[in-house]
Chains A and B, each alone.
Chain A
Amino acid sequence: MNLKKSTGLLIAIAVSLTLTGCAAGTSNSAGTMLDKLGKSETSLTLLGWPGYAEDGSNDPKVDWVTPFEKDTGCQVTFKPYGTSDEALSLFKTGQYDAIAASGDATLRLVAGGYVQPLNTSLIPSYSKVYDFLKNRAWNTVDSKTYGVPHGYGANLLMYNTKVVKPAPTSWSVVFDGASAYKGKVTAYDSPIYIADAALYLMKHNPDLGITNPYALDATQLAAAVTLLKAQRANVGEYWSDYLKSIQSFETGNSVVGTTWQVIKNSMSTKATVDAVLPSEGATGWSDSWMISSTSKHVNCAYKWLDYIDSPKANAAATEYFGEAPVTSDACQYASDKNFCATYHAGDAAYAAKIWYWTTPISACLDGRKDVKCTDYSAWTKAWQEIKG
């Protein structure tokens, strides 16, 4: 390489080092709590799971955003995301005022300073929310509330009633007993699925001392990884979108694995499937609306949080997505009379069996102080290795 060339290259590298360095050095500051609501702004940008803020543009009959816009004058822009991880990287861009995040993202949002603590007295609907959804690890940090619930549900065990006999009552059918259905087992494609294995080990291998499937030390994580690697040999495919899961069960490419209630409900009558909450309990989600620490439309955002927990809107949103609403008042507004019963809304005993998605962090969530737990990035690497 001649001198001219190498100098040019060096300069280029030096410039890029400096530029990226400057950008990476800037940090964000955590927002402070709002005292009282001011005048509404004119716009609001939301980020959420698909179907969390429908404005009728996809189906004129499915619309709970337009009434909100008319009431408050806040024009809503909604961006759907596919996975919690995608949500996180999108939200970090600072383009969003509020986000509907699952528990596997919320703590990462709080720790990163991307969301602000909420003054729940400014959110009247919040008082009616089921108590078992309030002040939980995924929405409250240092007794400050960061999110109000949107809806919740459990990751159920679905199986093909013609193929899987006898009807399973335990997750063992997808772990220790999975080889009976080699190539037909399915599982959720996300590092958070490691918690499903941890929950199974918690019940079946007490020696490991797991008390919370989201608080795993290195040994416990290794045990879960071993279990999942054994499962991998029997997995036909991992699913992350809704459609994939429905199709696989319909065609018989999958016969047993995790599912959501809504997927079970969407199956055609021809499909011979059933979904159960196994004896070990299950992992699940409770999604929270959170407000960005850098939002320029805080008043609109508060109004939205209040609106989405109000009975009518909450019923519309949760029924469309297929999950339990967060207040008992919502039940009467559902188009399906059995809606709340189907999704076990307000059933505290049922809800108690659910281990809601929570971001694993190095400070153990089960309260252990003597050991460091594995965090989400360790789970991610582990998940890549499990898939191989």
Chain B
Amino acid sequence: MKNELSAAGVTAIAVTPARRVSSFFYKYPKNRLRALIALPALWLGLVYVAALLMLLVTAFWTVDEFTGNTRVALNFDNVISLFTDPLYTTVTLRTIGIALGVTIADITLALPIAFFMSKVAGPKLKTIIAISILLPLWASYLVKAYAWRSVLSDKGILQWLLAPLGLNTPGYSLWGAAITLGYIWLPYVILPIYGGLEKVPGNLLEASSDLGAKTFTTLRRVIFPMILPSIIAGSIFAFSLTLGDYITISIVGGPNQMLGNLIYSNVGTANNLPMAAALALVPIAIMFAYLASVKRTGALDNL
């Protein structure tokens, strides 16, 4: 192309090293791709995927009782115990239950607010709400969890508000933990759903109603399919973050434990990295199954 240009009398461009690199990549677009992708792929592949594989492998080893060091010998006991030991099955089911509950609650809360922001609020109000939702992300996670500890306590504000109605605070319990987790992850669910709704053109909704569709039909048949990927994207955040939590449950969860506590105490307390790795396989397997099942919806592009 450059030759044609010079032939046509266009001033020749100085051949700098950068220019040479540039021309090279133009001639070989494959190499351009390679150059773009090499660094990030190496980073993610070497730093992350390799680390995950290593962890996976560790799950099949054991700990030498005597020295406390990891012994390299193939051993399926840890992984089998995930399915047979009632402690692990109970805690796994409890954790999945809480994660599902938190996810569903967050989506239910996020839908109306995202819809209001996107389709009802004027530009000014929209900015204010958007900032209001983003702001709490900057108050530390721990501070928020401790704030809920204060809210939920027997002499806290919730009890103070509920007592006249004859109700009681849920206190420090699985409910307390679920409420707190749902609270902390809510902005992460609202944002993608709002993003998804912003992509739904307003005139599409009008077209639907012009064609005689009722509001609910429009919601169900037009809007829902369009924002489903965004909903799923939001759900990945809420679900995954809850699945691995071990701090909130210890602050507001009363005497209960979740999968994260077991993993954490196997690394720290028990010095049993293989068991911790085996337990870590549970959230990995759950998330992989979830990701695989939602991949077709295109949700993964909306995180």
Contacts and interface: CB of A to CB of B under 8 A. Distances in A.
Answer yes or no: A and B touching, Cβ < 8 Å: yes
Contacts of B251: 244
Given A27-B67, A236-B254, A381 B270 contact: yes
B53 interface: yes
Contact of A251 (B69, B87, B156, B265): B156
B272 interface: yes
Interface in A10-48: 12-13, 16-17, 19-21, 24-25, 27
A375 B65 contact: yes
B271 A89 contact: yes
A191 B265 CA distance: 10
Contacts of B250: 189, 240
Nearest to B58: A20
Given A83-B269, A375-B65, A385-B87, A20 B153 contact: no
A178 B139 CA distance: 39
B270 A251 contact: no
B270 A380 contact: yes
Contacts of A296: none
B180 to A, nearest CB: 14
B53 to A, nearest CB: 5
A388 B58 CA distance: 25
Interface stretch (B30-38, B255-263, B292-300): B255-263
B272 A377 contact: yes
A185 to B, nearest CB: 9
Contacts of A248: 153
B269 A388 contact: no
A129 to B, nearest CB: 30
Given A27-B67, A85-B268, A253-B154, A384 B87 contact: yes
Contacts of A13: 53, 57
B261 to A, nearest CB: 8
A253 B72 contact: no
Given A16-B53, A380-B265, A384-B262, A252 B255 contact: no
A16 B87 contact: no
Q: Is the interface of A mostly helix, strand, loop or mixed?
A: helix
A238 interface: yes
Interface string B260-282: 00100111111110000000000
Contact of A387 (B65, B72, B256): B256
A17 B172 contact: no
Interface string B240-254: 000000000011011
Given A17-B72, A89-B268, A251-B155, A387 B149 contact: no
Interface string A240-257: 100010011011110000
A112 interface: yes
What size tier do the contact residues of chain A reach?
Answer: 35 or more
Given A12-B53, A236-B255, A108 B68 contact: yes
B255 A232 contact: yes
A14 B87 CA distance: 32
Nearest to A18: B72
A232 B253 CA distance: 14
A86 B256 contact: no
A236 B67 CA distance: 37
A377 B270 contact: yes
A274 interface: no
B265 A384 contact: yes
A83 B268 contact: yes
B54 A16 contact: yes
B157 to A, nearest CB: 12
A189 B68 CA distance: 23
Contact of A112 (B67, B156, B171, B269): B67
B120 to A, nearest CB: 41
A20 B72 CA distance: 8
Contacts of A251: 153-156
B257 A380 contact: no
Nearest to A86: B268
A348 B196 CA distance: 70
Nearest to A184: B154
A379 to B, nearest CB: 9
A377 B271 contact: yes
B56 to A, nearest CB: 8
A324 to B, nearest CB: 27
Contacts of A383: 265, 269
B71 interface: yes
Given A20-B72, A253-B171, 19 more contacts: A20-B57, A21-B72, A24-B71, A27-B67, A83-B269, A85-B269, A88-B268, A89-B268, A183-B171, A237-B172, A244-B149, A244-B251, A251-B155, A251-B156, A375-B65, A377-B65, A384-B87, A387-B257, A388-B87
29 contacts: A16-B53, A20-B58, A21-B72, A25-B72, A88-B271, A89-B268, A112-B67, A183-B171, A235-B254, A236-B171, A236-B254, A237-B172, A237-B253, A238-B255, A240-B250, A248-B153, A251-B155, A252-B154, A252-B155, A376-B270, A377-B272, A380-B266, A380-B269, A380-B272, A383-B265, A383-B269, A384-B87, A384-B265, A387-B256
Closest 9 pairs between A and B when the two form their complex, measured CB to CB:
A85-B269, A380-B270, A85-B268, A251-B153, A251-B155, A24-B70, A235-B255, A21-B72, A16-B54
